[in-house]
Amino acid sequence: MRVAVVQQQNGADPAANLNRSMDKIREAAAAGAELVMLQELHRSLYFCQTEDTSVFDLAETIPGPSTDALGALARELNIVLVASLFEKRATGLYHNTAVVLERDGNLVGLYRKMHIPDDPGFYEKFYFTPGDATFNTGQSGFTPIRTSVGKLGVLVCWDQWYPEAARLMALADADLLLYPTAIGWDRTDDPEEQARQLDAWITVQRAHAVANGLPVLVANRTGFEAAPDGDGGIQFWGNSFVCGPQGEFLARAGEDGEQVLLADIDTGRSEAVRRIWPYLRDRRIDAYGDLTKRFRD
């Protein structure tokens, strides 16, 4: 199966960002992609650098204008599409939400980001309520979404650092792990620290592929976005990638510049890999009870 992730630089105009994303989706489909994923919050600048109540005006309902437009495009191109939106679930209740649109344009599932960061430049707890359950299922938030191209274990950005999230998706029989992302550097960090951060980010996600025997798709944004208050900003580090079930790179984008990254996934390799590395067989589930604790005192 050919897949594509879109690495994009965003501007201040949401309509222009969406149109550019749609152009890149068309490019991916023209190259044979059956599954296309956009980066986190692809309609706007990364607004979580500051806390500003006016930003809630960017949020939209799901279904809503973006899912209507992207659903029509998925139907036209006959692809499965994963997009990331700022969801207004109710007045005063907002989520960072990934949606999955089928080949017929229908919304078949959504995933509301479960792990919400709150760090300098990433003040997401001000904007987003943690996810609870998947769309129309009532099941755990870590539940794959069934599509014509497989069961998609969709997670979002900060979720990518947590082995528990990836493992729970694998235990629920996900075929792929997908991470729409918006992450980058504080430009005041020295080059050595920046290199360590990027390497850690790539390594932990490749480790999810290895530990679960699943391909991983990662779409990150690129380019510099100044903070709205003029104090600092984020240099998004790109490096979107696709890796196979042993963590092997199938495709990797650069740090700078927009790119439609294409990769061919052998959908039978996860079965073959799990036969020689049977991690699920050898898990000691009888000894893992303390994982439900915040910390072992």
Catalytic residue ranges: 40, 113, 157
Alpha carbons 255 and 102: distance in angstroms, whole number: 30
Burial of 24 by CB count in 10 Å (0-12 exposed, 13-18 middle, 19+ buried)?
buried
Cβ atoms 75, 91 nearer than 8 A: no
Expressed in angstroms, the distance from the first to the final Cα of the chain is 47
Element (H, E) at 49: none
Instruction: Supply the Cα-derived Rg of the chain in whole angstroms.
Output: 18
Q: Bridge partners of 262?
A: 4
Alpha carbons 238 and 149: distance in angstroms, whole number: 26
Alpha carbons 179 and 204: distance in angstroms, whole number: 12
| DSSP reduced 3-state for 95 | strand
Alpha carbons 217 and 265: distance in angstroms, whole number: 10
